[in-house]
Amino acid sequence: MAKTTGKLELRALTKEFGNGSEKVVAVKELSLTINPGEFVTLLGPSGCGKTTALRMVAGFETPTSGQVLLDGEDLSALTPDRRPMGMVFQSYALFPHMTVFDNVAYGLKVKKFSTAQIKKEVGEILDSMNLAHLTNRAPNQLSGGQQQRVALARAMVVRPKVLLFDEPLSNLDAKLRAQMRIEIRSIQRRLGITSIFVTHDQDEAMSLSDRIVVMRNAVVEQSGTPEEIYRRPSSVFVADFIGRSNFLSVNEVKKGGSGKVSVEASGVRLKVNAHPKALKSAHPHLLVRPESVSVKKSSASSKSRKANEGIVKNVVFYGNHVEYSIDTPNQTIAAVVSDPVYDEIVPVGAVAKIDFDESRAWLLPSDSAVIASEE
Amino acid sequence: MALKRSGTKYDIFTKIALVLVVAIVFFLIILPLLNILIYSTQPTGSAIITNAFSDEVIRQILWNTMKLGLTVAFLGTLLGFIMAYTQARVEFRGKKVLHIINLVPIISPPFAFATAVIVLFGRSGIITRGVFDWRPTLYGYTGLVLVLTLSFFPIAYMNLLGMLRSLDPALDEAGSSLGASKWRIFRTVTLPLLIPGFAGSFLLLFIESIADLANPLIIGGNYTVLASRAYMAINGDYDIPMAAGYSFLLLLPALLVFLVQRYWAQRKSVVSVTGKPSGRPTVVTSPIARFFLLSVTFLLTSLIVMVYATVVLGAFVKIIGVENSFTLEHFRYLLGGFANAAVKATTFLALIATPLAGIFGMLIAWLVIRKVRRGSEALDFLGMLGIAVPGTVIGIGYAITYNDPVKIGGVTVFPQVAGGAAIFGGAIAIVMVYIIRSSPAGQRSGISLLQQIDPSIEEASASLGASGGRTFRLVTLPLISGAFLSGLMYAFAHSMTTLSPIIFLVTPDISILTQKILAEADQGRYGNVFALCCMLIVLIMVIGGLINLLVRRFQVSTDRPLVTGR
C-alpha cells in the first residue's frame, strides 16, 4: 500500500561542531528528497556524518544551517517530541524499568490513547512481531533479537510518518542480523513508512534499500539504487566501499562507439561502459569486480606468460566458490569463481589465465579528477 | 559518541529547572559567601587578612591549621590505604564486619570521638591512667590529630577500596607472567595506579580537617585553628567583620584544594572501570605482609570499637571509668525536658530538608550530564560549593546575610530567615543549610549513575512524543532512583549530625541536638554527651531505615548493566 504522506526533504543540511580552529564540519550541505514510503540508507565509514544527519532529522541535533521538511512543512522549530517520527536506536534504548508492554505502550500513553485502545494496539503489534508471549517480561530478560523487535514495535506503534534507524543491527550476531534485515524490510513495505537507515555495513545497505546514499567526509559521495551504486559507482571510494574491487590501470582510452569506451588493460583491449567524467580524467581506473574475472589453467611457464596471465598467490576454497589472488605483471588481481568444477582449481604457484567480463566492467575517473571537476 | 547529546535546543522544562537551580544556589550559598567577602573588607576584617603573615598570632593560627590539615591528611590516607588494601587483598575471617566498622565513623555524631578519646586516653583516661598510670595531655595537636584521623580515614578507605576493586586483576597476572614478584607488582603496578586515589584522598582529608570546628572546640585546648578562631570572633569578640576575615582565610585554601582535587586529581585517574573482572585479584600470602597488615587493621578496628563501646556504656553508667554503676539518669535528664525540643526540632527539620536536598542534587546531576552544554562544569561546581565551603564559613555567612531581610534597592527580595526574630524562629535558615550541605552527595552519585545510562533511552522517550518534563519524571527519575535513595539517606544522616554551620543559627526558639551536645561537652558532662550521641545514632538508624523502606517500595530494579551503545 503506497502512502501519499511522508515525503521528507533535507535542504542543504549542515552541522558544525566546535568553534574557531577546533571547528569540525560533520555534515556539509546535505540535500536529499525521500519519497513517501521510500527506504533510504545512509552508508559510510564511521565519522562520515551519517549519524549526525539522522539525528538532525530526528531533532536531536540542531542544524547549523539548512532545513528538514516533512510534506512541505519545515520542522526546524519542532523539538524531537513534536516530530511525527519514530526512532530505533543502536542500543535499542528500551526503558529498563518497564515491561515490554509498557515500553510499547509508552508513546500511545503520551498521545493520550484510551486504556482499551492502548491494549488493543499494543497487543496487535506484539502479535504481528511474534512478541506476544513476552508481553510482561522486563527488557533484561530478552535476547538481543527480541529487544530489537520490541524497539521496532515501540517505534512503529505510534504510526510515525518517518522511521529512523541508527545502526540498529550492529549489536546482533551475523545470523540474527540477516533475519532482522528481512523482517524490518517486510514490515516497512507493508506499512509503507518512509524510512532512513544509517549503517556502515554494505550488506545491510544493499539488501534493505530502495536507495543508498554513500557519505564520505561530511558530503554525499553518491546517491542511487543498490544496483547503480554497485555497478555504476561514481568514484573509486564508492566502488571500494561497496563490495570488493579490482582497479586496473588502463592505456589508450578511446571512444568506442555506442556509448562505450575502448581501453587497453592488462594487454587486452576491452569495450566498456564509462562514467561521463572518466574520459576527461588523467588516470582513469577500470573497475572489475572479482566475480567478473574468470580464471583458467594456463600452460605457459612463469617466464613466458603474457600480460593477462599471472601466478596464483593464494587460493581459498569455500565450497560454493573459490577465491583467488593472482599476481600479474602489473598488479595483484582478486577473482571469485563461483561453483568451481571439481579438480579444476588452479593451485598456488601455477600460472593462470585471467579474463575480464567487459560487459560488467566500469571505467572510473580517479578520485582527484572528480574533486577537480567539481570545483 | 559523547554522553551528552548536545544538539537540541533547551526545552521549557530545562529552562525552568536551570533558572530554579541557579536561584537556589545563589541564595543558599553564593549570597552568604559574597557577604563574607564584603564584611571582610571592613577594618577589623581586612586587618586579619592583610596581617595574615606579619602578625605573629594570626600566622600561628594559619600554621596550626595547615599543620593539622597536612598531618591528618597524611595519616588518614595512609591508614585508609592499609585498611583498604587489607580488605581487598588479604583473606581472613570477619572481613565484612571489619568493613562495616570502618564505615561507621562516617555517620557518627561530631563529638562522639573527641569525648570518648578523652575518657579513654586523656589525663585521667581509663586506659592511659587506669592501665598504664600515665597522664598524657591530649588537649591540643596530639588529641586533634588522633580524633580527626579516626573520624576521617574512612573517606580515604572508601575511595581507595573502590579503586583497588576496580583494578583489573589481569594487570597483576600480566606482571607475574612476566616474572615479577608480588612485592614488585605491588610497587610497580598497584601503587602507581593508585596515585590519583592517594592524591584525591589526601586533598579531601585536608579540606575536612581544616574545616572541622567541633573537635577543636572540645579537644583543641590552646591549639587554635582558623575555624575555632572565627567562631570565637563571633561568640567572644562579637566582631562580625573579624569573623569574616578569618572565614576568608579559611575559605581560600579550602576552595583551592577542592578545585585541585576535583579538576586535577580526578582527571589523572587511569583506573579503567571495566564491566567484568577477568580474574580473581591476587591475595597477599607473604607471612610478614599479612602480619603487618592484619596488626594495623586489628589495632585500628579495636580503637573504633572501644570508642563506640565507651559511647554506649558511658550513656548508661554514672561516670564511666569512675563510677561504673548502671543508671538511666542521663536519659531521664535529657528526655525530662533538656533535649526534648531539640530531638523534635532536629528530626523535623532534617526530615523537611532530606527530600528537598535529594531532588535538588538529582536535578543538578541531570542538568550537568544531560542538558547543559556550555558551563556544565561551572554548574557542577556551584552544586558542590555546599560541601567545598567549610561549615563554619557557611554558618557565619548565613548569620550575616539572613539576620535581616535581604534588600536590593530597598526592596525585600528574601525575608529574614535566621535569628530569633525571624519567621519560625530561624528554622528556615537551618533547613537551607541542611539542603546545601547534603545535596552534593546526591549530586555526585546521580552524576556517576547518569554517566552509565545510555542517553538514547531518554531520546527514545522524546522521539515517542514525551516532553522534557515527562521524560524526566517517567524515565530519568526511576532510573536514577538508586542514587536518589542513597542521596536521601546521606542527606538525613548528614543533616542530623552537622554542627559547624548550625552553631551560628540556633536561636532560643530552635535548638538542635548537635549544639546541645556541644553545650554538654563544654560543661564536661560526658554522660549526657554519650547519651545524646546514642539517641542521635538510634534516630538516624531508625528514620534512615524507614526512608530506605519507603523509597524502596517505589524503586525499580536497575541492578543490571544497561546496554550502552558505542
Q: Which of B8, B560, B564 sits opposite A140 (nearest CB)?
A: B560
Q: Which of B312, B364, B284, B257 is nearest to B116 (CA)?
A: B312
Count other Cβ atoms within 10 Å, centred on residue B136: 14
- pLDDT, residue B65, reads 93
Mean pLDDT of B526-536: 89
Q: Do A80 and B8 touch (CB under 8 A)?
A: yes
Task: Give B432-443 pLDDT, tens digit per residue.
Answer: 999 999 888 888
Measure in Å the smallest separation between the Cα of A18 and chain B Cα atoms: 11
Residue B341 lies inside a defined structural domain of this protein: yes
Q: Coil, strand, or helix at residue A327?
A: strand
Q: What are phi and psi of A34, to 5 degrees?
A: -115, 120
Pair (B14, B140) in one structural domain? no
Contact B533, B466 (CB under 8 A): no
Sort out which chain A residues have CB atoms less than 8 A from B560's CB and list them. Answer: 96, 140
| Amino acid letter for position B565 | G
Is B279 contained in some domain? no
Q: Do A82 and B465 touch (CB under 8 A)?
A: yes
Q: Is the pLDDT of residue B556 over 80?
A: no
**Burial class (CB within 10 angstroms; exposed 0-12, middle 13-18, buried 19+) of B396:** buried
Residue B276 lies inside a defined structural domain of this protein? no
Between CA A73 and CA A140 the distance in angstroms is 39
**Does one domain contain both B91 and B177?**
yes
One domain for residues B384 and B304 = no
Q: Tell me what pLDDT residue A322 has.
A: 93
CA dist list (Å): B360 to B107, B367, B394: 21, 11, 18
Partner residues linked to A249 by β-bridges:
A285
Mutate to test the interface with A, among B463, B481, B484, B564 (most CBs of A within 10 A): B463
Q: Residue A74 pLDDT > 80, yes or no?
A: yes
CA contacts within 13 A on the Cβ side of A54: 29
**pLDDT top residue among B235 and A40:** A40
- pLDDT, tens digit (0-9, with 9 covering 90-100), for B393-451: 999 999 888 888 887 777 777 888 887 777 777 888 999 999 999 888 888 888 888 88
- How far is residue B330's CA from residue B31's CA, in Å, rounded to a whole number? 41
Q: What are phi and psi of B560, to 5 degrees?
A: -145, 155
Of A85, A90, A140, the CB nearest to B463: A85
What sign does the dihedral B172-B173-B178-B181 (CA atoms) show? positive
Backbone angles phi, psi at A143, to 5 degrees: -75, 170
pLDDT confidence band for A68 (50 / 70 / 90): very high
Is the pLDDT assigned to residue A367 strictly greater than 80?
A: no
**B489, B365: one domain:** yes
In whole angstroms, what is the distance from residue B180 CA to residue B173 CA? Answer: 10
Most confident of A51-60, B311-320, B509-518: A51-60
Under 8 Å between Cβ of B395 and B504: yes
| Residue B192 sits in the same domain as residue B336 | no
How far apart CA B267 and CA B143 sit, in angstroms, is: 35
Asked if the Cβ–Cβ distance from A91 to B565 is below 8 Å, we say: yes
Instruction: Return the pLDDT at B8.
Output: 53
φ, ψ of residue B339 to 5 degrees: the values are: -115, 0
Q: Residue B549's pLDDT is what?
A: 81
pLDDT of residue A372: 37
pLDDT at A306 over 80: no
* Residues B265 and B196 sit within 8 Å (Cβ to Cβ): yes
Question: Is A150:A94 a contact under the CB 8 Å cutoff?
Answer: yes
Q: Shortest CA distance to B428 belongs to which of B505, B481, B493?
A: B505
How far apart, in whole angstroms, are the C-alpha atoms of residue A81 and residue B471?
10
Residue B1 lies in a domain: no
Residues of A in contact with B471 (CB under 8 A): 81
Please give the Cα distance from A5 to B510 (Å, whole number).
68
Q: Do A93 and B460 touch (CB under 8 A)?
A: yes
- Cβ-Cβ contacts under 8 Å, A15 against chain B: 7
Residues of A in contact with B475 (CB under 8 A): 95
The stretches of A129-266 forming alpha helices (DSSP H) are 144-156, 174-191, 202-208, 226-231, 236-241
pLDDT for position A136: 92
Query: Are A140 and B556 in contact (CB < 8 Å)?
Result: no
Query: What is the rounded distance in angstroms from the CA atom of residue B24 to the CA atom of residue B383?
Result: 10
CA-CA distances (angstroms) from residue B542 to B157, B439, B536, B538?
26, 21, 10, 6
Q: What is the mean pLDDT of residues A149-174?
A: 89
pLDDT, position B559: 42
Q: What range does the domain containing B541 cover? A: 8-32+328-561
Integer-rounded Cα Rg, in Å, for chain B is 24
Burial of A130 (0-12, 13-18, 19+ CB in 10 A): exposed
Task: Tell me, yes or no, whether B316 and B422 share the same domain.
Answer: no
The reply to whether B91 falls in a domain is yes
Is the model's pLDDT at B386 over the cut of 80? yes
> Using beta carbons and an 8 Å cutoff, which residues of A are at the interface with B?
15, 51, 55-56, 58-62, 79-83, 85-87, 89-97, 106-107, 110-111, 138, 140, 147, 151, 154-155, 158, 164, 166, 171
Cell of B428: 528556615
A90-94, B226-230, B291-295, B549-553: segment of lowest average pLDDT: B549-553
Interface test with B, best of A17, A55, A89 (most B CBs within 10 A): A89
Top-confidence residue, A53 or B166? A53
The residues pairing with A194 across neighbouring beta strands, listed in sequence order, are A162
Q: Is the same domain home to B344 and B310?
A: no
Q: Is the same domain home to B364 and B490?
A: yes
Give me the half-sphere count of Cα atoms (radius 13 Å) on the Cβ side of residue A13.
33
Structure confidence by residue, pLDDT tens digits, B103-119: 888 777 778 888 888 88
C-alpha cell read off for A65: 544551517
Instruction: Return the residue of A nearest to B454 by Cα.
Output: A93
Residue B400 shares a structural domain with residue B293: no
Indicate if B533 and B402 belong to the same structural domain: yes
Rounded CA gap, B539 and B512, in Å?
A: 14
Of B69 and B93, the one with more pLDDT: B69
Same domain membership, residue B322 and residue B332: no
Structure ipTM: 0.74
Interface contact A110-B566, CB threshold 8 A: no
* Mean pLDDT, rounded, of chain A: 88
pLDDT at A134: 93
Q: What is the CATH number of the domain that holds B382?
A: 1.10.3720.10
**What span, in angstroms and rounded, lies between the C-alpha atoms of B498 and B433?**
9
Domains of chain B: total: 2
pLDDT recorded at residue A368: 53
A102 close to A46: Cβ distance less than 8 angstroms: no
* Interface test with chain B among A95, A125, A137, A146, by most B beta carbons within 10 Å: A95
Select, from the ranges A34-48, B329-343, B477-491, the one with the highest average predicted confidence (pLDDT): A34-48
Over residues A12-22, mean pLDDT: 85
Testing the interface with B: which of A76, A109, A110, A148 to mutate, by most B Cβ within 10 A?
A110
Q: Which domains does chain A have, with CATH numbers?
A: 8-236 (3.40.50.300), 266-374 (2.40.50.140)
pLDDT tens across B285-320, in order? 788 889 999 999 999 999 999 988 998 888 888 887
Query: CA–CA separation, B423 vs B190, rounded Å?
Result: 56
What ranges in B29-134 are assigned the alpha helix state H? 31-39, 43-50, 56-89, 95-103, 112-121
- Kindly state whether residues B85 and B230 are assigned to the same domain: yes
In a domain, B3, yes or no: no
pLDDT band at A212 (very low <50, low <70, confident <90, very high): very high
Contact A50, A44 (CB under 8 A): yes
| Set of chain B residues whose Cβ sits within 8 Å of the Cβ of A57 | none
Residue B557: its pLDDT value, please? 46
> CA of A107 to nearest chain B CA: how many angstroms apart?
5
Name the least confident of A106-115, B518-527, B556-565: B556-565
Of the candidates B121, B101, B109, the residue with the CA atom closest to the CA atom of residue B531: B109
Q: Which residues contact B268 (CB under 8 A, 6 or more apart)?
A: B195, B196, B199
Helix (H, G, I), strand (E, B) or coil at A358: helix
Higher pLDDT, B267 or B251: B251
Q: Is the pLDDT of residue A3 over 70?
A: no
B344: number of Cβ within 10 Å: 12
At A52, the pLDDT band (50, 70, 90 cuts) reads very high
Answer whether residue B275 is part of any domain.
Answer: no
In a domain, B2, yes or no: no
CA distance B464 to chain A (A): 5
